[in-house]
Structure 1
Amino acid sequence: MEFLRLLLLFLHFIGMAVLIGAFIAQMRQKPEDGGRRPSAGILHGALTQLITGLALVGIREGALDMPVDHVKIAVKLLVVLVIVVLALVGRRKSLNNALFGAVGVLAVLNVAIAVFWR
């Protein structure tokens, strides 16, 4: 089970890299029609983070009996859900620059929560 946990953690990091990388790459492009449509990379990175994060919590609590800070996980879950909703809405209708920027800020916030919340 430890190998599965490490594999999920690796995929979680990949999702984070894809999300933030796609956001930075898209920030360099000019907005179209006064707004931006989040790329598929942003959506897929956020969904990867969501799915692997939930799986990591399940593995830690269920199979490995490792402690989990439920408040921290709830905050991180809320942040990634907002990112997913913004990405889904933005795929249908362009987001204004403030909402598009919020996607990047929230992604970095989630990393900061993971690192600094102890």
Structure 2
Amino acid sequence: MDVLINVFVALHIIGIASLLGGFLTQMKAMGAGAARFTPAMLHGALTMLVTGVALVGLNQADDQTVNNIKIGVKMAVLVVILGLVYVKRDEETVEKALFGTVGGLTVVNIFIATVWT
């Protein structure tokens, strides 16, 4: 079971890397007002959602303790990110504030995962 959990953790990290990487590659364009949500950002957020739910299930099946409040907060933040990226995915440009919000929420989600114990 540990190997399976570690595989899903790796996939979860790949998802966050895709979401954050997509944001960081658009930073220069954001300064020029031409930033857009890339498919990598949408796929990264979806990967995070699927692997996160799988990780919770696998950890509970392995009789490990799961902080349900932390998971709930992380999922709420991720659903907001996913909703924003999904709705605005086809637009040529996205407002700076909206794009910055997605980047900020992504970083918040990373800190919730790592700092909240």
TM-score, L = length of structure 2 = 0.92
Pairs within 5 Å for 1:39-78: 39-62=38-61, 64-78=62-76
- Over the aligned positions, Cα root-mean-square deviation in angstroms equals 1.1
Structure 2: any 5+ residue segments left out of the alignment?
A: none
Give the structure 1 partner of residue 20 of structure 2. 20
Give per-residue Cα distances to partners, 1:18-37, cap 9 Å, x unaligned: 111110001122433xxx43
Q: In 1, distance between residues paired with 2:28 and 2:111?
A: 23
Give the structure 1 partner of residue 79 of structure 2. 81
User: Between Structure 1 and Structure 2, how many residues are aligned?
Assistant: 114
User: Would you say 1:31 and 2:33 are equivalent positions?
Assistant: yes
Q: In 2, distance between residues paired with 1:114 and 1:100?
A: 22
**One-letter amino acid matched to 1:109:** V
Runs of at least 4 residues off by over 6 Å: none
Q: In 1, distance between residues paired with 2:85 and 2:36?
A: 8
Structure 1: any 5+ residue segments left out of the alignment?
A: none
**One-letter amino acid matched to 2:55:** L
